[in-house]
Amino acid sequence: MLSVHMDTQGLDKLAIQLKELSRHHIAFGLLPSHAERREPEPDEEKIDNLSLAITHEFGDPAKNIPARPFLRPGVDKAREEIISKVVSSIQSVIISGNVEEAIHELEEAGKIGVSAMREVIMEGIPPPLKDFTIRHHLRLHGLEQTRVGAAIETDRRTRGEVSSVDYATPLVMTGQLIEAIDYEIRRG
């Protein structure tokens, strides 16, 4: 008579490690912890980075603000790399039993997502900024806080050249929004 004995001790340990990994979640984009912005000028509306991101992601026709999405296109741009890192994190637990290494892979996925969102912004999202917006930022913040490209774009337009996102890149004027894009590993 043939007898088969199955030792499940290793499987039990793996199940515990995978359950521990499943308690970790990655979040990236505009997080509540990065919502605050510098104080606005007296004639500016007070808005936090999260609200500003939502406004630009979908646009606000009532305020004549066009949609300039960067969150969803950023995720789409990096989707395969992000999935690869998440799969790698699971494989780390299965192969080596190392939950810390798996969490590190999740952190890498977060960095990839953040980088992709920032790249989408830096590539320039049409339509170009309006003359009023560029002049407004230059008047309020000057060149020390407004990107030098705004002055270049203003000069180009004064010479009759076509408006562009190459110099006065939308969503980058003060740098506060792009700097607020981040990731975190949440446990829960």
What is the spatial distance between Cα 157 and Cα 167, in angstroms, rounded to a whole number?
A: 11
In a domain, 160, yes or no: no
In this prediction the pTM is 0.84
- State the helix-helix crossing angle for 71-96 and 49-58, rounded to 10 degrees: 110
Residue 2's pLDDT is: 77
Number of Cβ within 10 Å of residue 148's Cβ equals 11
Residue 164: DSSP 8-state: -
> In the prediction, which pLDDT does 43 show?
64
Q: What is the pLDDT of residue 113?
A: 98
27: nearest Cα among 122, 120, 106: 106
Residue 177 lies in a domain: yes
Domain count of the fold of the chain: 1
Q: In this structure, what is the dihedral angle of CA atoms 62, 64, 70, 76, given to the nearest 10 degrees?
A: 70
Domain membership flag for residue 136: no
pLDDT for position 172: 85
Residue 87 lies in a domain: yes
List per-residue pLDDT tens for the chain, 188 residues long. 777 776 777 888 888 898 999 999 999 999 999 889 877 666 667 889 999 999 999 999 999 999 999 999 999 999 999 999 999 999 999 899 899 999 999 999 999 999 999 999 999 999 988 888 888 777 776 655 556 777 788 888 888 888 888 878 888 877 899 999 999 999 98
Alpha carbon distance 122, 84 (integer Å) = 24
Question: What is the pLDDT, as a whole number, of residue 152?
Answer: 80
- Helix locations, 59-158, DSSP H: 71-96, 99-122, 131-145, 148-158
Euclidean distance between CA atoms 37 and 180, whole angstroms: 9
Calculate the CA 37 to chain-centre distance: 16
CA distances from 158 to 69, 131, 134, 166, 179 (A): 28, 10, 12, 16, 30
Residue 91 lies in a domain: yes
Residue 144, domain member (yes or no): no
Instruction: Give the domain extent around 24.
Output: 11-38+47-127+170-187
Q: Is the peptide bond before 73 cis (omega within 30 degrees of 0)?
A: no
Structural domain includes residue 148: no
pLDDT at 122: 93
**Confidence at residue 127, expressed as pLDDT on a 0 to 100 scale:** 92
Asked, for residue 26, whether it belongs to a domain, the answer is yes
Distance CA 139, CA 145 (A): 11
